């Protein structure tokens, strides 16, 4: 298997972008990534595109071939992968796999979602397709409802306090405030979080991510090719993917997602490093509580310790283990199919020393992208090249 | 790269299956494929699932993890790929690629779509997302309309007659009549085809595939593993994938799809065989005219010769080059995300000598799966093991 690098990254701003359609968002991010890489677009041999509900929210399937052609990449294999909100992470994985295995030398990876020009109820219904319709969602359960149950379970099992969970929102909003591509750029306070309106009790508005338009992209290639075109490449040390119960009723423990545990185990094994070696992480905080569960499932923090770590500043940009310095999905925004590639954009900047909220001396970064309430997860470990 | 085989295949009946949901259809086909292969399900390391519009028609995304778990494959990487109606073919390709490259040893590939419990207008609108919404489909163009233009162009350019195109429908209905899994099991006549009602002039009802529920599956593994479990394995000699203009306005020539040409070129190059070596083909006849264009783009017939070949019986089961002995999408049915894997099911039976419409001495088979009006194509070449 060959060494694989990310030669360049690109991202649109995340937010309400009424002037850009789903195709334009994706191509904007791809063009930026290609320019950043220094690799001529003619060298791209395949496109993997993460997108969740383009067929529903943008009336657009067959999106990967459209984007390929719009970039002048006529004819190349262009494939959309879908694993709900992990679509972006799993798209990156397929770029990585096909390059490390010698199938392709240069692959463009992108993620995109266009969500803000649709009524919120329709967006919620579309996102609910990430649950198990036959077993559960037809009851009317939504994702805020599902994660509200996860929050209850974490509070009950580990004594995690409402304020500790709110500290995740405060931290991520603080981080987003400094990120020029973030949707929310205003700090918040514990008081504001815990007094915001209920979405699904005990989960409140400030525990949730916004509805977001956005796209991100990465040029994935052999380390050798990357080094010929840029001195800012970032190595992909490992890639892990796992699946898990899609219905909550299939989970043995609402405070842990087996898909994440499995993907992390695979990735750490491949990279031959331990969770303690990670300098900075971007994890799937689709709700505040999801960040706590992710950091624990990834082994970055002991079980039940996520709340304390957020409250004590351990996961702040200048803490022992910075988590979501980009602002995460909660403040940076959550264009669902793009979010996993957006994490890669932010981590690449961190490892290149160019991030808005730069973590001093960051050499090893971890990205965790999750779909549904633990349906699927992708974990990537990146390193300064 | 390692030799790859299909150790087993499975398929539901194609048709109106009101008692089976999308998850049940997929798991039924997968269980049949696993049983057929003789490989214990615990050995499956990944699932690739082709599905086009499950989020719209069945309110179900995150389908691959659901299917994996229902099969007792908890935790494995489970990925949906989408390239409109080529989703199944491209799912197979990812099974092939990850096995030949040594990423996995045993991969389950499936395709599924659940379409018949939705009003026809909603199905047509969902399928229209395989076109370019921004450039074209928002005008109200549908896929029958798009292929009606392809039909006009082929008739104008090559002098193809209405009756020659109808001969494709007659042939495929004849074939479907003998296929126990086909949706349409009644022969038709040229007269019936050319007098059926217009769907989009000059395309008539009997030029179109039905709306179909169905799923198909294949167990893809190293040739070595296959040989340990079955003596009915089928080799995958080659896999090609291409993309093309999604909007008709981007096509230089409405009588040829560059995605197919590219995928075929890649596949024939890999397999080191010529189109003349193919004994039997299952091609993407989403409309009668699409079969003609496919056989010409694949190099199986000279340009403009498709109509004559259908009329003369050259592409009949007992002809020089049997095309769609299963009945094709037109008679067997077209559960869009499943169709590409359904072709593999039928070809595997052909190469094992077990097909309903058995082609004498079939040793080399070709499968061609296309998305949209040339948006994407996958070509696989299979051989008797």
- A88 and A99 both lie in a single domain: yes
Give the model confidence (pLDDT) of A218-261 as tens digits: 999 999 999 999 999 999 999 999 999 999 999 999 999 999 99
- B224 and B246 both lie in a single domain: no
Q: Is A244 on the interface with B (CB under 8 A)?
A: yes
**Is residue B123 situated within a structural domain?**
no
Which among B100, B345, B126 has a CA at the least distance from the CA of B237? B100
Alpha-carbon gap: A141 to the closest alpha carbon of chain B (Å): 13
Cβ separation of B62 and A250 shorter than 8 Å? no
Cβ separation of A60 and B129 shorter than 8 Å? yes
Cβ separation of A79 and B52 shorter than 8 Å? no
Contacts of A125 in chain B (CB under 8 A): 59
Catalytic residue among A94, A154, A173, A334: A334
Q: What is the CATH number of the domain that holds B270?
A: 3.40.47.10
Confidence at residue A385, expressed as pLDDT on a 0 to 100 scale: 74
Size (chain B), residues: 385
Contacts of A103 in chain B (CB under 8 A): 97, 101
Measure CB to CB from residue A61 to each of B53, B76, B102 and give the nearest one.
Answer: B53
Distances A5 to A94, A220, A348, B79, B259 between C-alpha atoms, Å: 13, 6, 10, 23, 29
Cβ separation of A82 and B80 shorter than 8 Å? yes
Both tokens of A72, joined, read 């002048």
Alpha-carbon gap: B205 to the closest alpha carbon of chain A (Å): 25
Alpha-carbon gap: A187 to the closest alpha carbon of chain B (Å): 34
- B183 and B303 both lie in a single domain: yes
Contacts of B78 in chain A (CB under 8 A): 83, 243, 376
B interface test, pick of A53, A57, A62, A141 with most B CB neighbours within 10 Å: A62
> CB–CB of A362/A280 below 8 Å?
yes
Domain span at A346: 129-206+236-384
Confidence at residue A279, expressed as pLDDT on a 0 to 100 scale: 98
Residue A131 binned pLDDT confidence (cut-offs 50, 70, 90): very high
Nearest CA in chain A to B258: A75
- B217 and B240 both lie in a single domain: no
Alpha-carbon gap: B48 to the closest alpha carbon of chain A (Å): 10
Which among B342, B245, B257, B248 has a CA at the least distance from the CA of B298? B257
Nearest CA in chain A to B374: A65
**Is residue B316 situated within a structural domain?**
yes
Contacts of B81 in chain A (CB under 8 A): 79-82
Confidence at residue A13, expressed as pLDDT on a 0 to 100 scale: 98
- A216 and A256 both lie in a single domain: no
- Which of residues 58 through 117 in chain A touch B, CB cutoff 8 A? 58-62, 64-66, 68-69, 74-84, 90, 94, 97-98, 101-103
What is the spatial distance between Cα A57 and Cα A63, in angstroms, rounded to a whole number?
Answer: 13
- A165 and A146 both lie in a single domain: yes
Which class for B224: exposed (0-12), middle (13-18), buried (19 or more C-beta within 10 A)?
exposed
Contacts of A238 in chain B (CB under 8 A): none
> CB–CB of A15/A185 below 8 Å?
no
**Is residue A358 situated within a structural domain?**
yes
pLDDT, tens digit only, all 385 positions of chain B: 999 999 999 999 999 999 999 999 999 999 999 999 999 999 999 999 999 999 999 999 999 999 999 999 999 999 999 999 999 999 999 999 999 999 999 999 999 999 999 999 999 999 999 999 999 999 999 999 999 999 999 999 999 999 999 999 999 999 999 999 999 999 999 999 999 999 999 999 999 999 999 999 999 999 999 999 999 999 999 999 999 999 999 999 999 999 999 999 999 999 999 999 999 999 999 999 999 999 999 999 999 999 999 999 999 999 999 999 999 999 999 999 999 999 999 999 999 999 999 999 999 999 999 999 999 999 999 998 7
- B279 and B317 both lie in a single domain: yes
Contacts of A143 in chain B (CB under 8 A): none
Which class for A371: exposed (0-12), middle (13-18), buried (19 or more C-beta within 10 A)?
buried
Confidence at residue B385, expressed as pLDDT on a 0 to 100 scale: 74
Contacts of B68 in chain A (CB under 8 A): 243
Quick check: helix, strand or coil at residue A240? strand
Residue A374 in this model has a pLDDT that exceeds 90: yes
- Cβ neighbour number for residue A227 with a 10 Å cutoff: 15
Both tokens of A253, joined, read 């423990």
Distances B222 to B3, B41, B44, B95 between C-alpha atoms, Å: 6, 15, 12, 11
**Is residue B255 situated within a structural domain?**
yes
**Is residue B269 situated within a structural domain?**
yes
- A27 and A138 both lie in a single domain: no
Total domains, chain B: 2
Confidence at residue A45, expressed as pLDDT on a 0 to 100 scale: 98
> CB–CB of B257/B274 below 8 Å?
no
Contacts of B238 in chain A (CB under 8 A): none
Q: Which H, E and C letters describe B333-345, residue by residue?
A: CCCCCCHHHHHHH
Cβ separation of A61 and B76 shorter than 8 Å? no
- B157 and B93 both lie in a single domain: no
Give the catalytic positions of B in this structure: 85, 334
**Is residue B97 situated within a structural domain?**
yes
Alpha-carbon gap: B242 to the closest alpha carbon of chain A (Å): 5
B interface test, pick of A61, A138, A337 with most B CB neighbours within 10 Å: A61
Measure CB to CB from residue A75 to each of B56, B129, B262 and give the nearest one.
Answer: B262
**Is residue B124 situated within a structural domain?**
no
| ipTM score assigned to the predicted complex | 0.97
Nearest CA in chain A to B133: A60
Alpha-carbon gap: A355 to the closest alpha carbon of chain B (Å): 31
Its pTM stands at: 0.98
Cβ separation of A242 and B77 shorter than 8 Å? yes
A-B CB pairs within 8 A amount to: 195
- Cβ neighbour number for residue B119 with a 10 Å cutoff: 8
Cβ separation of A242 and B76 shorter than 8 Å? yes
Nearest CA in chain A to B100: A101
Residue with token string 């893809």: B220
Measure CB to CB from residue B75 to each of A55, A130, A243 and give the nearest one.
Answer: A243
Task: Enter the DSSP assignment of A82.
Answer: E
Measure CB to CB from residue A246 to each of B21, B69, B258 and give the nearest one.
Answer: B69
A interface test, pick of B82, B90, B124, B239 with most A CB neighbours within 10 Å: B82
**Is residue A295 situated within a structural domain?**
yes
- Which of residues 114 through 133 in chain A touch B, CB cutoff 8 A? 125-126, 128-133
- B114 and B151 both lie in a single domain: no
- Asked about A334 being catalytic, the answer comes back as yes
Residue A286 in this model has a pLDDT that exceeds 80: yes
- A254 and A145 both lie in a single domain: yes
- A221 and A306 both lie in a single domain: no
Helices B162-177 and B143-158 cross at an angle (nearest 10°) of 120
Confidence at residue B72, expressed as pLDDT on a 0 to 100 scale: 97
Distances A330 to A152, A168, A192, A281, B166 between C-alpha atoms, Å: 19, 9, 15, 15, 57
> CB–CB of B385/B223 below 8 Å?
yes
Residues of chain A with pLDDT > 90, as a percent, come to: 99
What is the spatial distance between Cα B140 and Cα B121, in angstroms, rounded to a whole number?
Answer: 12
């Amino acid at each position: 298997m060959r060494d694989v690098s990310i030669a360049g990254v690109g991202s649109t701003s995340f937010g309400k972008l009424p002037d850009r359609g789903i195709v334009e968002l994706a191509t904007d991010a791809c063009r930026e990534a290609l320019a950043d890489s220094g690799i001529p677009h003619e060298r791209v041999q395949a496109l993997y595109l993460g997108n969740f509900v383009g067929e529903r929210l943008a009336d657009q399937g067959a999106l990967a071939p459209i984007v390929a052609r719009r970039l002048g990449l006529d004819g190349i294999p262009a494939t959309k992968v879908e694993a709900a909100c992990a679509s972006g992470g799993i798209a990156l994985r397929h770029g990585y796999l096909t390059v490390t295995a010698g199938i392709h030398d240069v692959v463009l990876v992108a993620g995109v979602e266009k969500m803000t020009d649709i009524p919120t109820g329709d967006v919620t219904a579309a996102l609910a397709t990430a649950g198990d319709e036959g077993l559960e969602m037809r009851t009317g359960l939504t994702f805020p409802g599902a994660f509200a149950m996860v929050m209850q379970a974490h509070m009950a099992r580990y004594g995690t306090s409402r304020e500790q969970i709110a500290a995740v929102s405060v931290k991520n909003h603080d981080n987003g405030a400094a990120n020029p591509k973030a949707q929310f750029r205003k700090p918040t306070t514990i008081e504001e979080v815990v007094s915001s309106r209920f979405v699904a009790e005990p989960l409140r508005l400030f525990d949730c991510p916004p509805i977001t338009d956005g796209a991100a992209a990465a040029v994935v290639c052999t380390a050798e090719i990357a080094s010929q075109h840029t001195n800012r490449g970032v190595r992909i040390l490992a890639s892990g993917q796992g699946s898990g119960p899609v219905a909550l009723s299939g989970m043995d423990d609402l405070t842990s997602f087996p898909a994440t545990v499995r993907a992390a185990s695979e990735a750490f094994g491949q990279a031959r490093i331990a969770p303690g070696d990670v300098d900075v992480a971007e994890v799937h905080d689709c709700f505040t509580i999801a960040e706590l569960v992710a950091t624990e499932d990834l082994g970055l923090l002991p079980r039940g310790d996520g709340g304390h770590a957020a409250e004590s500043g351990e996961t702040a940009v200048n803490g022992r283990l910075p988590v979501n310095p980009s602002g995460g999905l909660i403040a940076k925004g959550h264009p669902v199919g793009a979010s996993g590639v957006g994490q890669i954009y932010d981590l690449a900047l961190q490892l290149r020393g160019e991030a808005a909220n730069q973590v001093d001396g960051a050499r090893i970064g971890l990205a965790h992208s999750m779909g549904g309430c633990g349906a699927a997860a992708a974990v990537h470990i990146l390193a300064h090249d």
